[in-house]
Amino acid sequence: VKILVLNSGSSSLKFKLFKMLDESVICSGLIENIGARESLFSLSHQEHRINKKIAIQDHYEALCIVFDLLFEEGVLVDIAELYAVGHRVVHGGDKFYKATVVDESLIEELKSCIPLAPLHNPSNILGIEAVASKAKELTQVAVFDTAFHHTMPNHAAQYAIQASLYKEDKIKRYGFHGTSHSYVFKQSCKLLDSKTEATNIISLHLGNGASVCAIKNGKSIDTSMGMTPLEGLVMGTRSGDIDPSIIFYLHKTKGYSLEEIDLLLNKQSGLLGLCGENDMRMILQKAKEGNAYQLAIDIFVYRIKKYIGAYMAILERTDAIVFTGGIGENSEQIRELICEGLEGLGLYLDKDKNLNTSKKDLILSQTNSLVKLLLIHTDEEKEIAIQTKEVLKDLE
Ligand code: ADP
């Protein structure tokens, strides 16, 4: 029996088919540039690889193509082989705080969350509807990026604005990357051989989107993203934390429209805004003392250090700091820059171990380091498969 996991981004669709028994991957693929004139489709199944360029209008069409191809390629022979489909859903609003079986009312609720995640939730909903059109009886499960942070106490989740905006309008910090933070936390406990209910970590998910999460005794108690994924760290194209007054200044004094400011902060800021490049690999190659690329790295790293300090304070005892995501997993240089000067907090990076490029999860700190430093390879799709399996098992 198999579980299909679908991860719809704003213009992409990642999919992985898992064997349910051991969560091993049978087949995986990616469609990029959905909505553009030419979308890129790739699928790998055992030794077999397919790469195609075709026009794909939206996530509904993308999903129909994936479904058809799984049968054409013989990856699936009968729909009954599928136990369930697990979807990544970005924003669960204040209603959904654990993986949930999809029904009509869930779809309606998700539609009401669209204003909170305008880039992602519409494609997530289209994905769910497309699966229903292909296989009406198939069980679908929604796994929310926000769910893991549901345990955040009010003093972390509530903004210091009028309390009614929190109570009535649900304006609060929801946090994202929950499946990743939850997965790397469990993997960290395995690596440390420690109990989940007695382990405190700071999880640094550093990819194109980036967030930090403070996890105390297995529960998220704070995270850097807020009501939307715009708050917090410097990201590929998002600004992260700024003084909100900048928005009024841009609007009133510089004449920017609200749409322009939205675009500026979400798509034209972060690393891209600072140096014209959002790919960390390129930025590291081009960085020299005193140029804009170096400054972009400095600002990126500085913000992360500030969050580490803050989260060590609220955790009281930090067992480990975990690096994950494209940058966290692959850039020894960024990891070293982040740890530099934090010895006073009990963090001692082992520079040789830090150079290790194996695909394994590793401890990167010196043996005497009070706070362990870990490299964990995140796997959001696997976590979605696990949660899909668990929620259905609970219903049996
Ligand atoms: P997303 O948030 O889109 O899932 P990823 O987690 O794949 O992003 O991370 C993408 C980022 O990881 C890019 O900035 C990319 O340059 C960076 N990255 C990948 N490999 C390396 C590397 N070897 N060194 C530095 N940065 C890297």
pLDDT band for position 8 (cuts 50, 70, 90)? confident
Q: Active site residue: 68, 94, 145, 193, which one?
A: 145
Could you please report the per-residue DSSP string of 147-170? Answer: GGGGG--HHHH--SS-HHHHHTT-
Pocket of ligand 1 (CB under 6 A): 207-209, 236, 279-281, 284, 325-327, 330-331
pLDDT of residue 155: 98
Reading the block at residue 73, the tokens are: 């390629």
Question: Which of the pair, 16 or 94, is modelled with greater confidence?
Answer: 16
| d(C-alpha 260, C-alpha 289), whole Å | 33
Taking the model in full, what pTM does it have? 0.94
Find, among 102, 129, 99, 124, the residue nearest to 113 by Cα. Answer: 124
Chain mean pLDDT for the chain: 94
Q: Using CA atoms, how far apart are residues 128 and 107, in angstroms rounded to an integer?
A: 8
Q: Averaged over 353-378, what is the pLDDT?
A: 95
Write out the two tokens for 364.
């990167």
Tens digit of pLDDT for each residue in 118-132?
777 888 898 899 899
| pLDDT greater than 90 at residue 199 | yes
pLDDT for 112 equals 87
Question: Nearest Cα to 89, choosing from 68, 64, 119, 133?
Answer: 119
User: Predicted confidence band at 152 (pLDDT cuts at 50, 70, 90)?
Assistant: very high
Q: HEC profile for 293-336?
A: HHHHHHHHHHHHHHHHHHHHHHHCCCCEEEEEHHHHHHCHHHHH
Q: How far is the CA of 88 from the centre of ligand 1 (A)?
A: 20
What whole-number percentage of the chain has pLDDT above 90? 78
pLDDT at 383 over 90: yes
Over the stretch 213-264, which tens digit does the pLDDT of each residue have?
999 999 999 999 999 999 999 999 999 999 999 999 999 999 999 999 999 9
Cα(285) to ligand 1 centroid in Å equals 14
- The answer to whether residue 145 is catalytic is yes
Phi, psi of 92, deg, nearest 5: -100, 5
Residue to substitute in 280, 297, 356, 376 for testing ligand 1 pocket (most ligand atoms within 8 angstroms of CB): 280
33: three-class secondary structure by DSSP: coil
